[in-house]
Amino acid sequence: MIHVNEIAIDEKTILAEMQYHPADSQQAAMLKAAESLVIGELFRQRAAELGLHVKDELNDASDDDFLAALIDREVAIPEADEAACATYYQQNPERFTTSPLLEVRHILLAAAPDDELDRVNGKMMAEQIIKQLHEGDDFGRLAQKHSACPSSATAGSLGQISRGQTVAEFERQVFTAEVGLMPHPVETRYGLHVVWVDRKIEGKQLPFDAVKEKIAAYLNEKVERKAVAQYIHTLIQDAEIKGFDFAVSDSPLLQ
């Protein structure tokens, strides 16, 4: 049994709430459910203290409805001005740069993620192919002979690619590579890749005027999340809660 300022939350209510909080274990789901119910009860109690009527009937409103009404009433959330946006823009230029464009060829030696033997053999084969290419062998011929990718029909060409068009593990390595044959195989969930970057067009920084509204929205959301977390923390500190310890909670609301 949990008590929030002498209002009880029983086990049956917690068990019913668990369906909305999937987790790796029953204990973790119960913890999340209990936390949610406690915070929701704090919202309702504070709204009642302030005489706030959310959606006319308090029992019909969700926790989010109560929180929105309480934040509107009790929390002043500053908005990012142009100077703050300009500072963020200057300090994070990489966030406002268009994706590089690459022209890439590859040879895929397929191997399942959980097949260690295939992956070891694939890496050895990839290293052998890289050696052959350094010795002057033809990339297209080797792609047609070895690659498990449909691009083998076009000499291994993937055409022109930008960020977000390939899997993350491929992208992380290839987009930082120099033009030419990559010296080591690239490992992804699909297997091992021999990669040749034919051309690289670096990204360009977007002008501030084009992104300032997006920056303002991001900064405002960040400030609001922090304000909400602080407000909830204040409600918890001011309450008498028995049967639940927020010290063991990892809720992002409280971070």
In a domain, 91, yes or no: no
What averages of pLDDT result for each successive group of 10 residues across the chain (255 residues)?
Answer: 93 94 92 94 93 68 87 91 96 92 97 95 97 97 97 96 94 95 97 97 94 96 92 94 78 47
Same-domain check for residues 111 and 50: no
d(CA 161, CA 164): 9
- What was the pLDDT predicted at 251? 52
Give the residues across from 97 on adjacent strands: 205
> What is the pLDDT, as a whole number, of residue 94?
87
pLDDT score recorded for residue 59: 56
Q: Which of 68, 37, 39, 28 is nearest to 52 (CA)?
A: 68
The per-residue pLDDT for 56 is 52
What's the pLDDT at 58?
46
Q: Does residue 16 belong to any structural domain of this protein? A: yes
pLDDT of residue 254: 47
pTM of the predicted model as reported, rounded to 2 decimal places = 0.60
Residues in contact with 213: Cβ distance below 8 Å, sequence separation at least 6, in sequence order: none
Residue 89 lies in a domain: no
Dmax (CA) for the chain in angstroms is: 81
Residues 157 and 215 grouped into a single domain: no
Residues 54 and 123 in one domain: no
The reply to whether 111 and 63 lie within a common domain is no
Q: What is the pLDDT of residue 60?
A: 67
Tally of structural domains, the chain: 2
What is the DSSP secondary-structure string of 96-109? GBPPPEEEEEEEEE
Which residue segment(s) compose the domain that 183 sits in? 98-201
Query: Which residue bears the tokens 């369906």?
Result: 19
CA distances from 196 to 102, 108, 173 (A): 10, 12, 12
Same domain, residue pair 116 and 144? yes
146 Cβ neighbours under 8 A, 6+ residues apart: 107, 109, 125, 129, 152
Give the other-Cβ count within 10 Å of 46's Cβ.
Answer: 22
Q: Pull the structure tokens for residue 162.
A: 């930008």
Say if residue 188 is in the same domain as residue 113: yes
**pLDDT tens digits, one per residue of 27-38:** 999 999 999 999
Q: Tally DSSP H helices, then E strands, for the chain.
A: 8, 8
Counted residue by residue, the chain has a size of: 255
CATH number for position 174: 3.10.50.40
pLDDT tens-digit readout, 128-177: 999 999 999 999 999 999 999 999 999 999 999 999 999 999 999 999 99
